[in-house]
Amino acid sequence: MTESGQKEQPVEPTLEPLLQAHIGKQLRNMYDAMTREPVPDRFKLLLDRLEAGEEEDATTAKAGADKAGAV
């Protein structure tokens, strides 16, 4: 609230349509270029490790559930 006790209305930031179009075009170009680049080997290794860990977790969880059911 302001000192007069009234709520201030939020002001929406606006850009001119030509500027919005230019920024949108630049963002699309950057995204398109990025998606064409190969995935770095470091990221591939990390993804492989994560996937292996998920498979290991699923196997461990299944084994735990089998033991619980046998009791």
**Alpha helices, DSSP H, located in 1-71:** 17-36, 41-70
> What average pLDDT does the chain have?
84
Looking at residue 69, what is its pLDDT? Answer: 62
Has residue 7 been placed in a domain? Answer: no
pLDDT per position as a tens digit, 43-70: 999 999 999 988 877 777 777 766 666 5
Looking at residue 60, what is its pLDDT? Answer: 75
Residue 3 region, left (φ>0) first, then alpha (ψ -120 to 50), else beta? alpha
Has residue 42 been placed in a domain? Answer: yes
Least confident among 6-15, 21-30, 40-49 = 6-15
pTM value is 0.43
Has residue 6 been placed in a domain? Answer: no
Give yes or no for residue 3 having a pLDDT over 80.
Answer: no
Boundaries of domain holding 53: 17-70
The structure tokens listed for 32 are 């398109």
Has residue 65 been placed in a domain? Answer: yes
Has residue 9 been placed in a domain? Answer: no
Has residue 36 been placed in a domain? Answer: yes
Number of domains present in the structure of the chain: 1
